[in-house]
């Protein structure tokens, strides 16, 4: 099916892999360094320079996984990230459908206004968010962070989904209505499977931006819902820089992301065939 470039530039194809490989090596070097540091003792990190650990140790990981003030951070982060992804997709799906299929009063202005929220610097919202969520008694709850992250995730989800939905021919909608499908049934049975790759990509982006955000998440939480990345900063300043533990904690924040992209990859790969229709 797809011999996009090897049919076209047959002879040069042999060298093309160099670009992605060099790029990936560049991406992996700092991560390799972090991984190696997480297996070293703090003393070794500070005293000798070595490309791999001389005394291999798992102590850094044990420190984190046996202390609830560390590992609860991971659980908190996961809870609000999943909440946020579900809320964002649930409200963005119908809205994206409206934008891709209908014209209505003020649609273009509304679409751009939504995007402006994605453009708002989080630094601007830190103080007002704190006051708003205090007023509702939501400080230090997972739902507060999930709702706050909707500020930038919902517009992005609408935008991505609108793009995918617009690539589905309108004739499909019309045929389904003629065949007697009601709107909710059409949407769940026919339309959603068609744009599944789009939903996967949107979910990936929601997860990503919620997982990596720190400034707002840190402001809205105290202890019960504190994300792991905030716990890291606190420990760094308090314990006199235990580089090994810091590296191990960093490595552990990479893992959920790696899992998510691994699952989305399958989703996208399946979706590519559909996208060509």
Partner 1 sequence: MKSWNNKAWFLVLPVLLLVAFSAIVPLITVVNYSVQDSFGNNEFYWVGLEWFKEVLESERFHNALMRNLLFSAIILLIEIPLGIAVALAMPRRGWGVSVCLVLMALPLLIPWNVVGTIWQVFARVDIGLLGYSLTQLGFDYNYTQDVVDAWVTLVIMDVWHWTSLVVLLCYSGLVSIPQAYYQAARIDGASRWAVFRYIQLPKMRRVLVIAVLLRFMDSFMIYTEPFVVTGGGPGNSTTFLSIDLVQMAIGQFDLGPAAAMSLIYFLIILVVSWVFYTVMTQQDAEPSSGRGQSS
Q: Least distance to partner 1 from the beta carbon of 67, Å?
A: 18
Is 171 near partner 1 (CB under 8 A)? Answer: no
Is 52 near partner 1 (CB under 8 A)? Answer: no
Member of 123, 171, 179, 237 binding partner 1 (CB under 8 A): 123
Is 212 near partner 1 (CB under 8 A)? Answer: yes
Can you state the angle between helices 68-101 and 243-275, rounded to 10 degrees?
A: 20
Nearer to partner 1, 43 or 223 (CB): 43
Residue 41: phi, psi to the nearest 5? -80, 155
Is 195 near partner 1 (CB under 8 A)? Answer: no
Buried b (16+ CB within 10 A) or exposed e, 62-99: eebeeeeebbbbbebbbbbbbbbbebbbeebbebbbbb
Contact 36, 43 (CB under 8 A): no
Distance from C-alpha of 31 to C-alpha of 46, rounded to nearest angstrom: 18
Site for partner 1 in 216-255 (CB under 8 A): 227-229, 232-233, 236, 243, 246-247, 250, 253-254
Is 64 near partner 1 (CB under 8 A)? Answer: no
Distance from C-alpha of 122 to C-alpha of 151, rounded to nearest angstrom: 9
Is 180 near partner 1 (CB under 8 A)? Answer: no
Q: Least distance to partner 1 from the beta carbon of 119, Å?
A: 5
Query: Coil, helix or strand for 181?
Result: coil
Nearer to partner 1, 10 or 193 (CB): 10
Is 191 near partner 1 (CB under 8 A)? Answer: no
Nearer to partner 1, 2 or 182 (CB): 2
Number of residues that bind partner 1 (CB under 8 A): 106
Is 272 near partner 1 (CB under 8 A)? Answer: yes
**Degrees to nearest 5, angle at CA 50 with 49 and 52:** 150
Is 89 near partner 1 (CB under 8 A)? Answer: no
Member of 64, 139, 160, 248 binding partner 1 (CB under 8 A): 160
Would you call 253 exposed, middle or buried from its count of C-beta atoms within 10 A (0-12, 13-18, 19+)? Answer: middle
């Amino acid at each position: 099916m797809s011999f996009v470039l090897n049919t076209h530039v047959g002879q040069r194809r042999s060298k093309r892999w160099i670009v992605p490989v060099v790029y990936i090596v560049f991406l992996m070097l700092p991560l390799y360094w972090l991984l190696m540091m997480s297996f070293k003792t703090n003393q070794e990190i500070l005293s000798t320079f070595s490309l791999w650990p001389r005394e291999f140790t798992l102590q850094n990981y044990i420190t984190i996984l046996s202390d609830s003030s560390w590992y609860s951070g991971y659980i908190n982060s996961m809870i609000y990230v999943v909440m946020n992804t579900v809320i964002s997709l649930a409200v963005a799906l119908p809205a994206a459908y409206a934008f891709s299929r209908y014209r209505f009063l003020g649609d273009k202005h509304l679409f751009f206004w939504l995007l402006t929220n994605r453009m708002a610097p989080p630094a601007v919202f830190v103080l007002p968010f704190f006051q708003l969520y205090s007023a509702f008694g939501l400080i230090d709850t997972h739902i507060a962070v999930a709702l706050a992250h909707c500020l930038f995730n919902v517009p992005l989800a609408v935008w991505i989904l609108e793009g995918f939905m617009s690539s589905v021919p309108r004739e499909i909608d019309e045929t389904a209505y003629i065949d007697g499908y009601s709107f909710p049934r059409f949407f769940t049975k026919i339309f959603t499977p068609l744009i599944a790759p789009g939903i996967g990509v949107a979910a990936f982006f929601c997860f990503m931006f919620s997982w990596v955000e720190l400034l707002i998440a840190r402001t809205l939480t105290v202890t019960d819902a504190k994300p792991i990345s905030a716990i890291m900063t606190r420990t760094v300043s308090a314990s006199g820089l235990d580089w090994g533990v810091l590296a191990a904690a960093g490595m552990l924040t990479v893992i959920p992301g790696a899992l998510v992209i691994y699952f989305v990859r399958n989703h996208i790969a399946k979706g590519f065939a559909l996208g060509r229709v």
